[in-house]
Amino acid sequence: MSVQSCTTFLREAYGSTSIARQLKAMTGAGELVQLGRRHGYTFDIEDLAKASSTFSRPADAASPPAPDPAPVADATFYHYEYKLADVPALAPVLAELPRLRVSPPSVDLAEFDRSFREEDLRSTSQSPADPEFQRWHRGMAAAGWRDPDAGPDAPRRDFHLVNLDEHVDHPDYDGYFDAKVRTVAALEQVFGSEVRFSGSMWYPPRSYRLWHTNETQPGWRMYVIDLDADFAGPADTSFFRYMNPHTGELVTLRESRRIVRFFKAEQDPDRLFWHCIVNPTARHRWSFGFVVPEHWMDRIR
């Protein structure tokens, strides 16, 4: 009955505008299971996998769209960054940040600290164009970003952060999820129906996301970034670093509270947008990612 329950829920979800919006706020399978419970349907992740394999989404369903893979013309700028308070259209997102910035107690921060790897952090100072880096990166990717002698449950070394959407069993989850849905609704008013969440990440002290390109999910991204408090000084901050696809220059963007950043992930091998994120400080950093349409700049002016 659980598989049938899941199938019934999926049928209802794809026929409902309000539930379709809730789906656009989710990035994890556990969240979909939790959403089913909120609507009175009981199933687990295994049931979801079985139901999804046989469920045919209606052709006219109001489901989250795939990222637009169409290329755009060459640009002088590879990133755009604003203070949230300076973009009136994004005021509702700014208002939701206190409810989005959760720190699930289900996260074992002591274990998180033990998985820190100094050599991995050092790799964020190397250029992705460096042949030595490329050899290391290929080897780690082939090993699934885990040590050869580590089991499949060992933490991946390319992610030293917390995916908030993988933690659904904590007291603040419902309020957090409702804030995500309201955020999607607000962004639909700005960007249209193409917008959806692409990730919700918590970067505790000494965290990082190693060099990557997102080439399998091309398109424009918007990231809303916030911190639990101001940094001690301009040199002691979290940062976003990318390699200029044209010149190979490494560009480091020092961060502050309540900013929004836009960039585009490309698939063309000559235009890959290599980037990494590092929080080497004692502050806590949150990052909320969204897929946005090509015309995003016209909509926030």
Q: What is the pLDDT of residues 52-84, one digit of tens each?
A: 656 555 544 543 333 332 233 333 468 999 999
> What is the rounded distance in angstroms from the CA atom of residue 47 to the CA atom of residue 2?
6
Using pLDDT thresholds of 50, 70 and 90, give the confidence band for residue 49. Answer: low
- Per-residue model confidence (pLDDT) at position 8: 77
Read off φ and ψ for residue 148, nearest 5 degrees. -55, -35
> What is the rounded distance in angstroms from the CA atom of residue 159 to the CA atom of residue 211?
10
**Residue 40: partners with Cβ closer than 8 Å, 6 or more residues away:** none
Q: What is the pLDDT of residues 87-113, one digit of tens each?
A: 999 999 999 999 999 999 999 999 999
Ordered by where they begin, the domains of the chain are 2-54 (no CATH), 80-111+155-300 (2.60.120.10)
Q: What is the pLDDT of residues 168-190, one digit of tens each?
A: 999 999 999 999 999 999 999 99
Helical H segments across 152-284, by residue range: 173-191
> What is the rounded distance in angstroms from the CA atom of residue 196 to the CA atom of residue 26?
8
Q: Which two tokens stand for residue 285?
A: 């950093």
Whether 40 has a pLDDT exceeding 50, the answer reads yes
Q: What is the pLDDT of residues 228-254, one digit of tens each?
A: 999 988 889 999 999 999 899 999 999
